[in-house]
Amino acid sequence: MAQPPVEESSSVAPTTSYSGIQPYSGSTTLAQPPIETTTLITGTDSGSLMLRVQQLEADVRRLNGLLEEATQALQLLEAQSLERYVDLDRRLASGAAVEVAEGLGSESTVPTTAVSETPVPGRAVDAQAGEEAAYRAAYELVREREFSGAVVAFTEFLADYPFGRYAPNAHYWLGELYLVLDPPDPELARQNFKLLLDQYPADPKVPDALYKLGRVQFIKGNRQRSKEYLDEVIREYPSHAAAQLARQFLLENF
């Protein structure tokens, strides 16, 4: 079959007038409006972006201010908590001193014949007296709010008497002290409270150490672990003052 004439194809095409098209003269007049429009949009977007950045910077400054206030408030609370425990620990230490004195008095009444059968541990008594003196010296620094010096003193105390009578108290106070130092060290606080739990699970300070571990984990951002410690205080020691503190902390922060 013969192909249709080429000129006939125009008869079925849409009617379009090209009379208004001028020959290309090198002018960029027709391309200019899109360029201007693009520039206008870019300028608007840039202004919006700059405004958003400024808003974010303001939010960051506000949040940093709130964080600083919260940190200062927490340090104040920890310092106040430390001072409350100072009085309690002083009474406990005084009671321990009375027990030591009573023990020494009873040993002085032992007959000479008993000494030959069970030698008096003179060096042990001296060591116990030395341990007590070292503990009291470190503890006195806490009372005087010489927190950095107290950290050094308790650390040296534990190096000299790692399993001594006052070792649990020393670990507890180191945990407290690391929270009130400037800057605080939550990780070292955690380590000392955890050592108290692991090595002295029957010590009277265990409930307080559990509560403090909950606080420390909260500071470190471990909310789930924090809640576990706080719940443990409430579950295991429901009538202890630390349990009441744990309930209040959970109510305010979870």
Domain ranges of the chain: 45-204
Six-digit token pair at 57? 């910077």
Rounded mean pLDDT, 200-206? 96
**pTM for the whole structure:** 0.56
173-195: burial string, b at 16+ Cβ within 10 Å, e else? bbbbbbbbbeebebebbbbbbeb
CATH class for the domain made up of 45-204: mainly alpha
Task: Select from 199, 223, 187, 228 the least CA-distant residue to 211.
Answer: 228
Question: What's the pLDDT at 124?
Answer: 53
Rounded mean pLDDT, 91-99? 45
Query: 110-146 pLDDT, tens per residue?
Result: 333 333 344 445 555 566 779 999 999 999 999 999 9
> Residue written as tokens 């007590």?
132
Q: Is there a cis peptide before residue 111, judged by omega within 30 degrees of 0?
A: no
Six-digit token pair at 88? 């309690």
Supply the mean pLDDT for the chain.
Answer: 74
Enter the DSSP assignment of 24.
P
205-243: burial string, b at 16+ Cβ within 10 Å, e else? bbbbbbbbbbbbbbbeeeeebbbebbebbbeebeebebb
| Residues whose CB falls within 8 Å of the CB of residue 12, separated by 6 or more in sequence, listed in order | none
Question: What's the pLDDT at 245?
Answer: 96
Query: 47-65 pLDDT, tens per residue?
Result: 778 777 877 877 777 777 6
Report d(CA 226, CA 230) in Å as an integer.
Answer: 6
Given pLDDT bands bounded at 50, 70 and 90, which one contains residue 253?
very high
Task: Select from 214, 211, 188 the least CA-distant residue to 85.
Answer: 211
Single-letter code of the amino acid located at 4: P
